[in-house]
Structure 1
Amino acid sequence: MLDALAPARRRFLLGVLALALVAVAGLGVAIWRTHDKAVEPVSQETQGPVLLVPGYGGGTAGLEVLAGALRAQGRDVEIVDLPGNNTGDLDRQAGALGKAVILALQRAGARSVDVVGYSAGGVVARLWVRDHGGGGLARRVVTLGSPHHGSDLAGLGSDVAPDSCPRACEQLQPDSDLLRALNAGDETPTGPKWVSIWTTDDRVVVPPSSSNLDGALDFTIQSVCPGHEVSHGQLPQDPVVIAAVIRQLVVADPAVPGPEIC
């Protein structure tokens, strides 16, 4: 086909094809570098700041009790103020968490952080680790009553009152595009040690077992303290839950606590 073209046109076409091949090759290298970049886990022996990530539409006040308990243990604690009243795009919230982490590391002169994500804040923390460089900065990630596989309540809200279901509400529906992608393959990417704590009394994360996180140390409060009642909203303020969280943020490896916390 090229032989039928005039010499000048043939040279032009060959030049265009060569440039296209270079561009495709460059894109392939960039993609390969992005996916091949290995995460180097941080040391588990050094405790840095603790960042508390609030849940859907919850603001920061609900985490003050947990923050106070951790500060009483000598920890440097910051409650992250997320954009969009915690109801906007979860990936954007993950980016905001990433910025808060960098500032906390610079302020404290630390090399790693511990992150505790309450409710949807746990999903935000997972997005940060997977997509925003958190794997090489997080020592521990603890989630409290997080709808890792969505909540039927979000789906119901979208069906009954779609105008009252903001972006994060849509993303927290079971089998949403965001959750389907987040849970495809490894639910707990390389980097931090992962813990998921939840309650069987949850009426916001429906079913409560949506908080199961494959690859994490995963346990319910009731498996440690049978008969202990704690709702979704009480999780970050309940003394038993707080004791369980504190145990996961020490230097020793995460472990299911004993009945002494009950």
Structure 2
Amino acid sequence: MAVMRVVWRLTAAIVLCATGAGVAAAANTPRTTMAAILDGVTEAPGPALGVNHELLAEALVCGDAGSRDGAVLLVHGTGLTASESWDRTYVPVLTADGYSVCTVRLPMRALADAQVSSEYVVYAVRTLYERFGGAVDVITHSQGALEARWAIRFWPDIGDKLDDLIMLSGSSHGTIAADAVCLQQLKGSTESVAQQRPDSLFLSALNNGDETPAGPDYTSIYSFTDEIVVTSALNPSPAIAGATNVAVQQVCPFRPVMHIPMITDAVAYALARDALDNDGAADVDRIDRGAACARLVAAGMTPVDALINAATYLPAAASIFLTRAMDEPALMPYARSALPGDVQTPSSRPLRSLVSSAFGLAGPRLSVP
């Protein structure tokens, strides 16, 4: 067995070098750490990664190592790319402040099966943990929260490798917008959109039991004026039990923040940075409310950056509505046991699901101040 392991490591290293697959994920990585990285992505506990390692490596892009310990991984949302979400927003600002920043590009603009997309996050966290030699902070937007939480739940080593999970407008309990898309397309929607319907099998498995498994500090930042991940004061979809759940309106009452502009919002960024820069989750009492509320765009970003970011509504909407209709994918074998006993199939009636979600007929999950 030891001989086979050595042969596998040598073979994998040769393939990575020959194909260039390791360039994005392991650029500037000393050779002495390559074996550790290979171990981290191939021999760690949890389900075997089914995605080709070349694709996983190509999707991970890192800048130069910063002066701070560890690394920050940015995970984008539905209908977007890593570049569209982060290249003019969190990447340059965090890099300028000494963070080692990496992005992961989820397949098909994050329209593919979220279970598959989660493998990209698993690979990224393991690789960054080995490469940068410290705990990884993960910042997500929208659907990205689902991939990060799925990775923590079903791959036991991931939670131990994380310091913070910071979610911006996370669709943790689904969104009625997904039901609306399914209703509009009549025969279904893209795979990940179908998985974001509030009664999907994916969300039923993800949210059954402990919503914040041991590992990172969880911060969920959201807005009551989000038009995509629609929330209410009593039953906000982004809020998860056991996390620090903060609406931007708790810092600045009546502040209007929509879904994609959450990435450039000054208050959301202040909360995210508070979690990054301090032990534990974000703490509203540490926020300089006057400074945060006086700004529309996060410090270090410009109004032009915000406008370009807001313009990504167009490619996001086009990709969602023009992609051929698909049903929700079946759960992977490793996730089926996580389903509640009374849940076997998702609702095939998007109109009934939409009405039920809109009026909160399932009842509130938790009370959020």
TM-score per shorter chain, which class?
A: 0.7 to 0.9
1:63 and 2:90 matched: no
Which of 247, 268, 279 in structure 2 is aligned with 1:241? 268
User: Deviation at 1:226?
Assistant: 1.4
1:214 and 2:214 matched: no
Considering only aligned residues, what root-mean-square deviation do their CA atoms show, in Å? 1.8
User: Deviation at 1:253?
Assistant: 2.3
Q: Deviations over 1:193-242 (max 9, x none)?
A: 10000011100012351111110011100100112221101011122221
Matches within 5 A, 1:113-128: 113-128=136-151
2:224 aligned counterpart, secondary structure = coil
Would you say the 8 A contact 1:145–1:197 is kept in 2? yes
Q: Deviations over 1:22-73 (max 9, x none)?
A: xxxxxxxxxxx98xxxxxxxxxxx8410000000111122222122221222
Q: Deviations over 1:161-181 (max 9, x none)?
A: 045611101100001111011
Q: Which runs of 4+ in 1 moved over 3 A?
A: none
Matches within 5 A, 1:1-262: 47-60=69-82, 61-64=84-87, 65-108=89-132, 110-132=133-155, 133-163=157-187, 165-207=189-231, 209-254=236-281, 255-256=283-284, 257-258=286-287, 259-260=289-290, 261-262=292-293
Query: What is the identity, as a one-letter code, of the residue corresponding to 1:52?
Result: L
Would you say the 8 A contact 2:251–2:267 is kept in 1? no
> Where do 5+ consecutive residues of structure 2 fail to align?
1-44, 47-67, 294-369
User: Deviation at 1:105?
Assistant: 2.5
TM-score, with length taken from structure 2: 0.56
2:127 aligned counterpart, secondary structure = helix
Would you say the 8 A contact 1:47–1:251 is kept in 2? no
Query: What is the identity, as a one-letter code, of the residue corresponding to 1:202?
Result: D
**Residue in structure 1 matched with residue 306 of structure 2 by the alignment:** none
User: Deviation at 1:248?
Assistant: 0.8
Q: Aligned partners of 1:222, 1:183: CA distance in 2, in Å?
A: 26
Would you say the 8 A contact 1:47–1:113 is kept in 2? no
Would you say the 8 A contact 1:202–1:231 is kept in 2? yes
Q: Percent identity?
A: 30
Would you say the 8 A contact 1:53–1:80 is kept in 2? yes
1:141 aligned counterpart, secondary structure = strand
1:158 aligned counterpart, secondary structure = helix
User: Deviation at 1:91?
Assistant: 1.2
1:175 aligned counterpart, secondary structure = coil
TM-score, with length taken from structure 1: 0.78
1:249 aligned counterpart, secondary structure = helix
User: Deviation at 1:135?
Assistant: 1.1
1:129 aligned counterpart, secondary structure = helix
Would you say the 8 A contact 1:149–1:210 is kept in 2? yes
Q: Aligned partners of 1:70, 1:164: CA distance in 2, in Å?
A: 39
Query: What is the identity, as a one-letter code, of the residue corresponding to 1:116?
Result: I
Q: Aligned partners of 1:182, 1:73: CA distance in 2, in Å?
A: 34
Total equivalences in the alignment = 218
2:178 aligned counterpart, secondary structure = helix
Query: What is the identity, as a one-letter code, of the residue corresponding to 1:118?
Result: H
